[in-house]
A and B are shown apart, each in its own frame.
Chain A
Amino acid sequence: GDSVTQMEGPVTLSEEAFLTINCTYTATGYPSLFWYVQYPGEGLQLLLKATKADDKGSNKGFEATYRKETTSFHLEKGSVQVSDSAVYFCALGYSNFGNEKLTFGTGTRLTIIP
Chain B
Amino acid sequence: DVKVTQSSRYLVKRTGEKVFLECVQDMDHENMFWYRQDPGLGLRLIYFSYDVKMKEKGDIPEGYSVSREKKERFSLILESASTNQTSMYLCASAEGGDRQETQYFGPGTRLLVL
Residues of A whose CB lies within 8 Å of any CB of B are 32, 34, 36, 41-46, 49, 51, 89, 93, 95-98, 100-102, 104-107
Does residue B41 face the partner (Cβ distance < 8 Å to A)?
yes
Task: Collect the chain A residues with CB atoms within 8 Å of residue B99's CB.
Answer: 95
Chain B residue, CB-CB nearest to A93? B101
Contacts of A45 in B (CB 8 A): 104-105
**How large, as a class, is the contact surface on chain B?**
20 to 34
State which of B42-50, B66-74, B75-83 sits at the interface with chain A: B42-50
Tell which of A42, A101, A107 touches B42, judged by Cβ atoms closer than 8 Å.
A107
Q: Which residues of A contact B111 (CB under 8 A)?
A: none
Given contacts A100-B48, A100-B100, contact A43 B41 (CB under 8 A): no
Bound CA–CA A22/B44 (angstroms): 20
CA distance A51 to B102 in the complex (A): 11
Q: Nearest 9 CB-CB pairs, A to B?
A: A43-B105, A106-B42, A104-B43, A44-B105, A100-B100, A95-B100, A104-B42, A43-B107, A95-B98
Given contacts A42-B107, A43-B90, A95-B98, contact A101 B33 (CB under 8 A): yes
List the A residue with the shortest CB-CB distance to B103. A102
Residues B94 and A100 in contact, CB atoms below 8 Å apart: yes
Please name all residues of chain B whose beta carbon is closer than 8 Å to the beta carbon of A102 when the two chains form the complex: 33, 43, 45, 103
User: A residues within 8 A CB of B33?
Assistant: 101-102
| A-B pairs with beta carbons under 8 Å apart, 13 shown | A42-B107, A43-B90, A44-B90, A44-B103, A44-B105, A45-B105, A46-B102, A49-B101, A95-B97, A98-B56, A100-B50, A104-B43, A106-B40
Residues of A within 8 A of B40 (CB): 106
Query: Do A89 and B43 have beta carbons less than 8 Å apart?
Result: yes
How distant is B105 from chain A, measured CB to nearest CB, in Å?
4
Seed contacts A41-B107, A100-B31, A100-B100; 20 additional CB < 8 Å A-B pairs:
A32-B101, A34-B102, A43-B105, A44-B90, A44-B103, A45-B104, A93-B101, A95-B97, A95-B98, A97-B50, A97-B96, A98-B50, A100-B94, A100-B96, A101-B33, A101-B48, A102-B43, A102-B103, A104-B35, A106-B42
